[in-house]
Amino acid sequence: MNRAERLARLLRVLAAIISEPGLNPLELADRAGVSERTLRRDLAQLRDLGYEVAYTSGYEVQEKLNLEGRGRNRQRGRGDDALLQAVAQAVESAGLWRDTESPQASPPRRPRARRTAPGALVLIPTGSEDPIFMYATGFAVETALYIRFGEGDDVLFTSPLEIDRARAHSRAARVLEDREAYVHDTWAQLAARTLSERGITSVRVAPNLPAVHLEDLRAQGLDVEVDRDLFVAERRHKSAGDAAAIQAAQAAAESAVVEVVRTLAQAEIRDGVLWSNGDPLTTERLYSRAQLVLGEKGFTCPDMIIAGSPASAIPHHRGEGPIQANAPVIIDIFPTSRSNHFNGDLTRTVVVGEISEDVRRMHAAVLQALDAGIESIAAGVPGQDPHHAVCQVLVDRGYGTTTAGFEGPDGVAKMNHSTGHGVGIETHEEPRLKDAITAPLEEGDVVTVEPGLYLLGFGGVRVEDTGMVTKHGFHNFSTLTRSLNPRDYL
Identify the pLDDT of residue 37: 64
**For 94-106, how does the pLDDT look when each residue is reduced to its tens digit (9 = 90+)?**
554 444 333 343 4
Q: Kindly report the CATH number assigned to the domain that includes residue 135.
A: 3.40.350.10
Average pLDDT over residues 214-226: 97
CA distance 445 to 239: 10
Are 350 and 328 in contact, with CB atoms under 8 Å apart? yes
Predicted confidence band at 47 (pLDDT cuts at 50, 70, 90)? low
> Where does 130-201 show beta strands of DSSP type E?
145-150, 153-158, 174-177
Domain check: are 139 and 225 in the same one? Answer: yes
CA distance 334 to 331: 10
Identify the pLDDT of residue 19: 65
Domain check: are 273 and 421 in the same one? Answer: yes
Cα dihedral sign for 186, 191, 197, 201? negative
Domain that holds residue 73: 3-105
Whether residue 481 lies inside any domain: the answer is yes
Whether residue 110 lies inside any domain: the answer is no
Identify the pLDDT of residue 62: 42
Domain check: are 197 and 333 in the same one? Answer: no
Identify the pLDDT of residue 104: 40
Domain check: are 149 and 171 in the same one? Answer: yes
Domain count, the chain: 3
Burial of 316 (0-12, 13-18, 19+ CB in 10 A): exposed
Average pLDDT over residues 55-74: 38
Whether residue 114 lies inside any domain: the answer is no
CA distance 364 to 190: 59
pTM (two decimals) = 0.77
Domain check: are 100 and 187 in the same one? Answer: no
- Kindly tell me if the per-residue pLDDT of 53 is higher than 90: no
Name the range with the highest mean pLDDT among 10-19, 26-35, 363-372: 363-372
Average pLDDT over residues 328-356: 98
Which residue, 180, 208, 235, sits at the end of a domain? Answer: 235
- Kindly tell me if the per-residue pLDDT of 70 is higher than 80: no
Average pLDDT over residues 19-24: 64
Q: Kindly report the CATH number assigned to the domain that includes residue 246.
A: 3.90.230.10
CA distance 260 to 486: 10
Are 380 and 410 in contact, with CB atoms under 8 Å apart? no
Domain check: are 48 and 77 in the same one? Answer: yes
**For 368-409, how does the pLDDT look when each residue is reduced to its tens digit (9 = 90+)?**
999 999 999 999 999 999 999 999 999 999 999 999 999 999
Contact residues for 249 (Cβ-Cβ < 8 A; gap 6+): 299, 335, 336, 337, 342, 343, 344
Whether residue 116 lies inside any domain: the answer is no
Please count the other Cβ atoms lying within 10 Å of the Cβ belonging to residue 138. Answer: 15
Whether residue 113 lies inside any domain: the answer is no
Identify the pLDDT of residue 51: 61
